[in-house]
Structure 1
Amino acid sequence: MVRKAVIPVAGLGTRVLPASKAIPKEMLPVVDKPAIQLVVEEAVRAGIKEIILITRSGKEAIENHFDKHYEIEAELARKGKTAILESVKDILPSDVTLMAIRQPDAKGLGHAVLCAAAAVGTEPFAVLLPDVLVDCEEGETHDLSQMIENFSTESATQVMVERVADEDISKYGIADCSTAPAAGTSAAVVGFVEKPNTEDAPSNLAVVGRYVFPARIMDLLKDTKPGAGDEIQLTDAMDTLLKEQAMSVYRMSGKTFDCGNKAGYVEAVLNYALKHPETKEQTHALIKQLSV
């Protein structure tokens, strides 16, 4: 059973500067929730009970957001603002714990994940990159839940992918698999190619920032030498793991939004605003007005 999720939040957020100069990029609001809350909600919905944040100095606002705020709660209760009070109190369910571990040096994603080794122990775990929001429509398969189920039945690492346009292939790590999985299913993968040219790409299935790993990946990360950018790359450890055991790519059925860049962030805000009961009508009207 996968009960733990590692979420690396130590990045500088340079792609959304100056907004992230004094505010962690993960705390930028998507309508009325910071992006990191939507990522944590995704993990909780998939059955995760322990959230492990890999953080750094200056990111304390993320931890504070998931903590109790007695003054706000008392004032909302005094004024009878029950709905707002419940939204503040229920940010983290009572059966879910959250802890933060400092990444002392910026040594790459692989190093960030490795910082959680002691907290993960010998258990399998999920990794969620907070720049990416995964939104599933009502009635669709919850992608992370399905990845965890597939991991349990296949005993194989799961890597989420989505189909991208040919012109965007060179922006992503691309999966090499003999059979392309249908949406909501997984297929065996033989390797990954980092940012290939379109004509050299083995597929159009791009890695999008959700993984389910066995604890073994931590041992491999400990032995992984610095690679591209003189950083410890998660993909290098994955390549080693793939030589030892089966690995699958899971093709998502939902939609992703890359909040790590300005255009993706704006797209995410519009998408969630169109679903929020307090903003959907005004947002529809605004889009209609701007499209005239």
Structure 2
Amino acid sequence: MKPVRKAVIPAAGLGTRFLPATKALAKEMLPIVDTPTIEYIVREAIASGIEDIVIVDGKSKRSIEDHFDSNPELENNLREKGKDELLKIVQETTDINMYFIRQSHPNGLGDAVLTAKAFIGDEPFVVLLGDDLMQDEVPLTKQLIERYEETGESTLAVMKVPHDQVSEYGVIDPAAEASDGLYRVKTFVEKPKPEDAPSDLAIIGRYLLTPEIFEELENTKPGKGNEIQLTDAIDSLNNRQHVYAHEFKGSRYDIGSKIGFLETNIEFGLKHPQTRDQLRAYIKELAAKL
């Protein structure tokens, strides 16, 4: 069984939920306190043992490439001023095996993953979506890799959500629980009505896939939104080899919506050593006025 060494991070979306900020700035570069959201995703991959990362981007995403490139002028300025801690932070993002592929047309998540076929080759790999930040003692991507080492099969991350919210997600119809928190998937149901949902286990933005997914993607017809849907291809893959779901029990932060983005900034700001005390005092002062 080949080890999981590579990751695909799709980042070609237009970011329309965050207009006008994303008119000229990649949504993935919007910061949580002082760190671009995509850097959190990359850090999770690296902390999980991933060696090579490909970012599938699109037009107006140059800022992502620049962020993970060296900036000699900035680095020299920080070095001359003795700002060693800031210099270390800046240089950390350049010492990564990072590659970029352009998705020429917005044809869906499945198409974005398919563009990475030549990069992945015949190896298992992980897909990390940028709208979800995950925190746990063991990174979620690492948890998926450990599950793959048990089963040798594709494994998706799922999380229990309130039953009245299942219509916002794709959910799994699970077979019997294979082991603690690991389910064999019978089928996938995209955004079901609560009364029709087979479970409350919603698919969240982490996938570990075997290379056979590419054949399925190549044969997947456009689905919702006239786009190639990754879930459709995974459902098809499930007919030829087992697909499992791993239940994530850590903290998930939805940064794909305005309110989720604001909530995440507040929570992370309350943990950041440079902002937590002042932010806590400000929130108390603001609450007293409401």
Q: TM-score, normalised by structure 1?
A: 0.94
1:114–1:39 CA distance, 2 compared to 1 (3 A): same
Alignment-mate amino acid for residue 113 of structure 1: V
Question: Which of 114, 134, 142 is 2:139 aligned to?
Answer: 142
Q: 1:168 aligns with which of 165, 179, 184?
A: 165
> Which residue number corresponds to residue 122 of structure 1?
122
| 1:250-283 CA-partner distances (Å, limit 9, x unpaired) | 1112211221210010111112112211111122
| Two-structure CA RMSD over aligned residues (Å) | 1.5
Deviations 1:65-107 (A, max 9, x none): 0000000100000000111111111124x3x310100111111
Q: Is the 8 A contact 1:181 1:250 kept in 2?
A: no
Structure 1 position 177 matched with structure 2 position 179: no
Counterpart AA for 2:276: K
SS in 1 for 2:155: strand
C-alpha contact (below 8 Å) 1:55/1:103 kept by paired residues: yes
In structure 1, runs of 5+ residues without a counterpart are: none
Find the counterpart in structure 2 of residue 61 from structure 1.
63
- Quote the residue 2:286 is aligned against: 290
Q: Which runs of 5+ in 2 are unaligned?
A: none
The aligned runs of 1:10-49 (5 Å cut-off) are 10-49=12-51
Separation in 2 of the partners of 1:26 and 1:121? 26
CA deviation vs aligned residue, 1:165-221 (integer Å, no higher than 9, x gap)? 122111000111134689x83221111111111111111111111000001101111
Q: How many residues align?
A: 286
Which one-letter code corresponds to 2:173 in the other structure? Answer: D
For 1:125, the aligned partner's letter is: F
What amino acid sits opposite 2:188 in the alignment? F
Q: Which of 258, 265, 269 matches 2:265?
A: 269
- TM superposition shift of 1:291: 2.9
Q: Do the aligned residues in 2 keep the contact of 1:101 with 1:115 (CA within 8 Å)?
A: yes
Match of 2:97 in 1: 97
1:77–1:85 contact (8 Å) kept in structure 2? yes
Partner of 2:154: 157
Give the C-alpha shift of residue 124 in structure 1: 0.5
The one-letter amino acid paired with 1:124 is P
What's the CA shift for 1:142? 2.2
Secondary structure, aligned partner of 1:57: coil
Aligned partners of 2:276, 2:227: CA distance in 1, in Å? 43
**Secondary structure of the equivalent of 1:160?**
strand
Cα distance, 1:154 vs structure 2: 0.6
- The answer to whether the 8 A contact 1:143-1:253 is kept is no
Q: Using the alignment, how far apart are the partners of 2:56 and 2:117 within structure 1? A: 11
Q: What amino acid is aligned across from residue 74 of structure 2 in structure 1?
A: I
Q: Which residue number in structure 1 is paired with residue 225 of structure 2?
A: 229
Q: How far off is 1:61 after superposition?
A: 0.4
Amino acid at match of 2:183: A
AA in 2 matched with 1:196? P
Q: State the distance in 2 between where 1:27 and 1:192 align.
A: 32
Question: Secondary structure, in 3 states, of the residue corresponding to 2:126?
Answer: strand
- Percent of residue pairs bearing the same amino acid type: 44
Report if aligned partners of 1:181, 1:251 keep a CA contact under 8 Å in 2: no
Q: 1:84 to 1:181 in 2, by over 3 A?
A: farther
Secondary structure of the structure 2 residue equivalent to 1:260: coil
Aligned to 2:84: 82
Shift in Å, 1:287: 2.5
Where in structure 2 are the equivalents of 1:197-212 lying within 5 Å? Answer: 197-212=193-208
